[in-house]
């Protein structure tokens, strides 16, 4: 290779390295810009108290949060944007195993020889105590909550009020209490309560997170017919691995249901 060609090759390599370095600088700057307005919404863990009267079976009593407001029937300020930018077009969706909850509580009513029954309808739950002095109790089923935006804590340090399905939390508290009374042990297999939240940043990038909501107790105190529970609510974020496992479990469940419905073993031809 002649000296001229060698010099040209070195110059080309140097130019390529410079171009790559420039691209890296541009990419880093772009990343920094995105991080500068990226939102991140989290939910504050909560301690609470819950009261249940053993005669009235007033399951739908709202839990009293110790770290957040209790002024609204179905909202509380538990959401906070710890990111650097505002979250736009926020959608919060709650999901709950209502049927499992109703079936479990009715089974405990039967074991405890209570005439009370809880029923599930499209938009509500109803408790029938069969006592004219107590009457019926109602609770709505909650679904989605919408917010145009949630500012970052730098812009607004106050937490944001969001819709909370308090009846679902109360139902799980009641299952913990009734299981202890009916079976002498705590039922930890509670109906699953989940939360999914989606939002965008000011650049249009979309984000979605999911949480399993854990309802547990510190202690249960009996005071005559009144039962007091001190408990906690924890938001456990579901990662990619957990989502994959849940997806596989769903596929296995649907496959098993398909096998049972068609009864392939019985209908197969030999």
Instruction: Classify residue 139 by its DSSP letter.
Output: E
Q: How far apart are alpha carbons 23 and 29 in whole angstroms? A: 10
- pLDDT tens for the chain, 270 residues: list them: 676 666 665 566 666 666 665 566 554 545 455 446 799 999 999 999 999 998 899 999 999 999 898 888 899 999 999 999 999 999 999 999 999 999 999 999 999 999 899 999 988 999 988 777 777 888 888 778 999 999 999 889 999 999 999 999 999 999 999 999 999 999 999 999 999 999 999 999 999 999 999 999 999 999 888 999 999 999 999 985 455 555 556 565 665 656 665 654 444 443
Other beta carbons within 10 Å of 138 = 11
Task: Report the pLDDT value the prediction gives residue 69, as an integer from 0 to 100.
Answer: 87
**CA nearest 79: which of 140, 155, 172, 152?**
152
Helix (H) or strand (E) holding 221: strand 206-223
Q: How far apart are alpha carbons 43 and 21 in whole angstroms? A: 40
Strand order in 75-81's β-sheet? 41-43, 75-81, 160-163
Contact 88, 201 (CB under 8 A): yes
Task: Report the pLDDT value the prediction gives residue 266, as an integer from 0 to 100.
Answer: 47
Q: What is the pTM of this model?
A: 0.76
Task: Report the pLDDT value the prediction gives residue 36, as an integer from 0 to 100.
Answer: 60
**Is residue 180 packed enough to be buried (19+ CB in 10 Å), middle (13-18) or exposed (0-12)?**
middle
Beta strand pairing call for 64-65 and 124-128: unpaired
How far, in whole angstroms, is CA 224 from its chain's centroid? 34
Other beta carbons within 10 Å of 207 = 16
């Amino acid at each position: 290779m002649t000296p001229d060609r060698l010099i040209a090759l070195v110059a080309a390599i140097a130019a390529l390295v410079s171009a790559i370095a420039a691209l890296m600088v541009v990419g880093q700057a772009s990343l920094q810009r995105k991080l500068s307005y990226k939102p991140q919404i989290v939910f504050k863990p909560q301690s609470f108290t819950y009261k249940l009267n053993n005669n009235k079976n007033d399951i739908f009593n709202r839990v009293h949060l110790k770290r957040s407001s209790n002024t609204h029937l179905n909202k509380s300020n538990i959401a906070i944007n710890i990111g650097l930018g505002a979250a736009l077009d926020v959608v919060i969706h709650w999901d709950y195993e209502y049927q499992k909850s109703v079936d479990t509580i009715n089974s405990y009513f039967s074991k405890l020889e209570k005439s009370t029954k809880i029923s599930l309808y499209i938009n509500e739950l109803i408790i029938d105590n069969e006592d004219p002095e107590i009457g019926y109790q109602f609770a709505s089923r909650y679904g989605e909550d919408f917010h145009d935006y949630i500012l970052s804590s730098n812009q607004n340090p106050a937490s944001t009020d969001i819709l909370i399905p308090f009846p679902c939390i109360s139902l799980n508290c009641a299952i913990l209490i009734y299981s202890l009374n009916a079976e002498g042990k705590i039922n930890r297999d509670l109906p699953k309560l989940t939360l999914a939240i989606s939002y965008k940043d000011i650049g249009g990038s979309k984000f979605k997170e999911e949480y399993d909501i854990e309802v547990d107790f510190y202690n249960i105190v009996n005071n005559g017919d009144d039962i007091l529970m001190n408990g906690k609510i924890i938001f456990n974020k579901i990662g990619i691995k957990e989502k994959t496992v849940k997806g596989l479990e769903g596929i296995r469940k649907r496959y098993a249901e398909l096998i049972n419905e068609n009864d392939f073993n019985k209908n197969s031809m030999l």
